[in-house]
Amino acid sequence: MSKKEKQELEPKLRFPEFTSMDEWHNYRLEEISDRIIERVGGLELPTLSISAGIGFVSQEQKFSRDISGKQYKNYIHIKKGDFSYNKGNSKKFPQGCIYELLEYEEAAVPNAFISFRFKDSYVSGFYKGYFENNFHGRQLVKYITSGARMDGLLNINPSDFFNIILPTPIKKEEQQKIADCLSSIDDLISAEEKKLLLLNDYKKGWLQKLFPAEGKTVPEWRFPEFQDSEEWAQKKLDEIGKFIRGFSYSSQDTTDDETKLLVIRSNNIVPMGKTDYINNLRYVNKKCSKEQNLIFGDITICMANGSSNLIGKSSFYDGGYAGDITVGAFCGIFRSPLPIVRYLFQTNQYNRELQRVSQGGDGAIANLKEIDIKNIEFLLPTLPEEQQKIANFLSGIDDLIGRQTDKIEALKEHKKALMQGLFPSIEEVL
């Protein structure tokens, strides 16, 4: 151990009962784990893959089918608590991701994955913190000599992979304490995420009740003061608002200057939610027309996309961006003074209209045209007061969803900060 290691190889935070313990030790993965090479053979096991940011998922879920084919017998047999390394690169894990198998007792994974099991003296839950924080990737980057292979996997040799260093407390009890701490936060995040799902389901339920079902002219439920009001009226979007084309620019116009025009693209459009102007941003060194600049209440719509199931997705712009903001040429804007319009785009009726547009072809929408949006028809309350009442009610649910989302993000940030204190930094290792 070097002089630097002796002085610095320990985290900023240690639980009181371990502060007088020895400093942490640098272990190579090959010292503390065993590679799993057992083939599936004739066993019938669920076939899994790994999705970055999610973890183990069934191949049916990821690819809509089992892709193992004749290679199934050569898949690796892993068990609950085992880990696998997917060498595919992603935005979150450019050097590949590592996940622990938790939801299956046994499974089959591609032999292109590197699978391993920690030895009994080491707590697997402790090391999840390293893998979640891409501690492995920042070491593996030096072994990547070229891009991904034809199959999309990085050129990482098993010997190089097992050479990564994972600083570890000498005492297993300290490993377990850290693992339990992180696990408790994960449980809390999971519980809050379940609450968020329930809130979203609650909103979907009210959307179905507050807007007429197919073939009906009034909704299932109306506010008491409107029970005896007249039937809702059919309106085209073109009658209640205006469609605005997206902004065109070239790759030469893009810039890293965050003071320039922000262009919303398809990946910033969040169905049933607010337009995302925080993640995956693109700025351009051009100006859009005054009309194309997003304002509060605008609906952003994906008009064209390589994936047909994303065509027509929409979100609501809350006016929270401080600078100039617009949508790209593959998107569009629908602008209306009616607050209820925000929720029309979240109804089953809107989805039915998208399906109607796709009829007559192969069932998939290659792109939406301006006329397609303008001609979409909705049933609307004739009384502005009823429209406003519905918008206010659903907006209240959205506020609850927003606060719950913020709570989850705060917990994730707390966990991130805690991990930075509980684990040594990568600089202490490299």
CATH architecture of 233-380: Alpha-Beta Complex (3.90)
Given CATH 1.10.287.1120, say whether it is the number of domain 13-20+171-219+382-430: yes
pLDDT at 269 over 70: yes
Q: What is the residue whose two structure tokens read 């994906």?
A: 302
Residue range 198-216: average pLDDT?
Answer: 96
Q: What is the residue whose two structure tokens read 């029970």?
A: 227
pLDDT confidence bin for 427, thresholds 50/70/90: confident
CATH architecture of 25-168: Alpha-Beta Complex (3.90)
In the chain, CATH 1.10.287.1120 covers 13-20+171-219+382-430
pTM: 0.84
Residue range 107-122: average pLDDT?
Answer: 96
Residues 288, 292, 296, 299: is their CA dihedral positive or negative?
Answer: negative
Instruction: Give percent above pLDDT 90 in the chain.
Output: 80
Residue 305 phi, psi (nearest 5): -165, 150
In the chain, CATH 3.90.220.20 covers 25-168, 233-380
Cα separation, 423 vs 213, in Å, equals 54
pLDDT at 165 over 90: yes
First-to-last alpha carbon distance for the chain, in angstroms, is 13
CA distances from residue 146 to 87, 88, 112, 136, 188 in whole angstroms, order as listed: 13, 13, 18, 18, 41
